[in-house]
Amino acid sequence: MVQWSESERTIINGIFSHLDYDDLGPKAFSRCLIVYPWTQRYFSSFGNLHNAEAIMGNANVAAHGIKVLHGLDLGLKHMDDIMGAYAELSSLHSEKLHVDPDNFKLLSDCITIVVAAKLGKAFTPETQAAFHKFLAVVVSALGKQYH
Amino acid sequence: MTTLTAKDKQTVKAFWAKVSGKSEDIGASAVARMLVVYPQTKTYFSHWQDQSPNSPAARKHGKTVMMGVGDAVTKIDDLKEGLKELSQLHAFTLRVDPANFKILSHNILVVMAVMFPTDFTPEVHVSLDKFLAAVSLALAEKYR
């Protein structure tokens, strides 16, 4: 089980309590599709993803970005059992969606970048460390049920 | 691993022209974040009396690294040749595990997002990410 210090819990809860999901979800997800274009392989039904402009203007991308960012709420609500909390989603990503778990890290890097851009100087090294730890645990949990 | 397109090179050069004035701050912030968020990287700096993220040694190292990045921008058309000496240094003297190049690159990108949120667009991000990956590859060239 992952141990969280009081300071880490405070930082992580603080980030999420001020998070604008409708803004950052689309930004993080579209950035992932642009910076790591092979991730587009899972979204052939989303329509036009031919270039950065198309991706950033795509309504399916935006909606999915919001959905995925809210997926982090599960970890936030169950910080003391993130593995357990994501077991079902992990199976879904493995057995139904067939997503290579290496992609989770790519998306989490993009989430980090857009949160950093939003918070600016407030995204201190300590804030980055706590957020990175949280995302790393979620990413690990999502990969747990793959076999 | 990856070839930089003409567009990538143009994007990197233009972005670097905008941000290079702050390269010392960028370097200091990137190294500080690396030491805090990825504490295993501190193992390379056991010779520093003060390993804290904002120490003079860490700041100086950030400046050194970003000078290397700036130099790489000028040699963007042949990084393997241009960074030959730096590669020898990293291979035979410093012996930094190349996995750490990825870690520092990531932190450089985070700092760009923090300091230049409007200029660090997804298009700039992808070109800069490719560029740092190419630099990392050139640095690892002489390892084996």
Picking from A99, A113, A17, the residue whose alpha carbon sits closest to that of residue A64 is A99
Q: What does each C-alpha distance from B8 to B74, B112, B125 come to in angstroms?
A: 14, 17, 10
Q: Give the residue from A86, A112, A124 showing the smallest Cα distance to A32.
A: A112
**Least CA distance to A124: which residue of chain B?**
B33
Cβ distance of B126 and A109 shorter than 8 Å: no
Provide the ipTM. Answer: 0.86
Residue A147, pLDDT score: 87
Of A30, A112, A120, the CB nearest to B117: A120
What pLDDT does residue B3 have? 87
The chain A residue lying nearest B39, using CA atoms, is A129
- B1 pLDDT more than 60: no
B126–A34 C-beta distance less than 8 A: yes
What is the 3-state composition of chain B as percent helix, strand, coil, each rounded to the nearest 5?
Answer: 75, 0, 25
Tokens 């993803």 -> residue: A49
User: What is the structure's pLDDT at B50?
Assistant: 92
What's the mean pLDDT when you consider all of chain B? 95
The arithmetic mean of pLDDT across residues B76-83, rounded, is: 96
Q: At what angle do helices B99-115 and B23-37 cross, to 10 degrees?
A: 120
- Hey, are the CB atoms on A114 and B113 less than 8 Å from each other? yes
The residue that leads in pLDDT, A135 or B97, is A135
Amino acid in position B89? L
A50 in reach of chain B (CB within 8 A): no
**Per-residue model confidence (pLDDT) at position A11:** 98
Per-residue pLDDT of chain A (147 residues; tens, 9 = 90+): 799 999 999 999 999 999 999 999 999 999 999 999 999 999 999 999 999 999 999 999 999 999 999 999 999 999 999 999 999 999 999 999 999 999 999 999 999 999 999 999 999 999 999 999 999 999 999 999 988
pLDDT of residue A133: 98
Evaluate whether A112 touches A135 at the Cβ level (below 8 Å). yes
| Residue B122 confidence (pLDDT) above 70 | yes
Q: Give the phi and the psi of residue A130 in degrees, each rounded to 5.
A: -65, -45
B122 and chain A: CB distance < 8 Å anywhere? yes
Angle at A129 between CA A125 and CA A133, to 5 degrees: 170
Determine the pLDDT at residue B2.
Answer: 66
Q: What angle do CA B136, A134, A145 make, to 5 degrees?
A: 90
Residue B95, Ramachandran bin (φ over 0: left; ψ between -120 and 50: alpha; else beta)? left
Alpha-carbon distance B143 to B91, whole Å? 5
